[in-house]
Structure 1
Amino acid sequence: MQQPPRIHLFQGYGIELEYMLVDSNTLQVKPITDELLKHELGHYASDFENGIVTWSNELVLHVVELKSSKPENNLNGLEHAFAENVERINAILAGWDTMLMPTAAHPFMNPLHETKLWPHENNEVYNIYNTIFDCRGHGWSNLQSTHLNLPFYDDEEFAKLHAAVRMILPLLPALCASSPILDGKVTGLLDTRLKFYRTNQSRLPSITGKVIPEAVFSRRNYINTIYEKIKSDIAVFDPQNELNPIWVNSRGAIPRFDRGSIEIRIMDIQECPAADLAIVSLVIETIKAFVSEKFLDVDSQMKWKTETLAQILERTTEQAQDAVIDQPEYLSAFGFPEKSAKASALWQHILERMIRSGNEPIENRKREIDVILREGTLSHRILKALGKDQSKENITGVYKQLSGCLAQNKMFFS
Structure 2
Amino acid sequence: MKHSVKEIVLGNGARGLLINVPGATVMDYEVNFRAGEYLVPREKWEVPHLMEHVVLGANEKFKKARLFQAEFEKNGAYTNAHTSVVSVGYEAECADFEWDRILDMLLLSVSKPLFLREEFKAEFGNIKDELVARSNNHFRTLAISMNEAQGLLAMTDRERLKMMKNVRRKDLIEHYERTHTTRNMRFIIAGELKGREAKIRKALESVQLPQGAERFSLPNELPLHLSRPAFIARASVKNVYFGINTFALKRFSNPDMDALEMVNTMLTATLHSRILGEARERGLVYSMDSGVDVARSHTGWWFGAQVMVKNAPALFEIIARELKRVRSGDISSKDLDAAKQYLLGRHQRSGQTVGGTMAGYGGRYFFDEVINNYHAIPERIRAVSRERITKVTKRMFSDKIGGLGVLTTSPSRRELAEHLNDQIQPLWSSK
Given the two structures, how large is their TM-score scaled by the length of structure 2? 0.27
In terms of fraction of residues, the more strand-rich structure is 2
Larger radius of gyration: 2
Given the two structures, how large is their TM-score scaled by the length of structure 1? 0.28
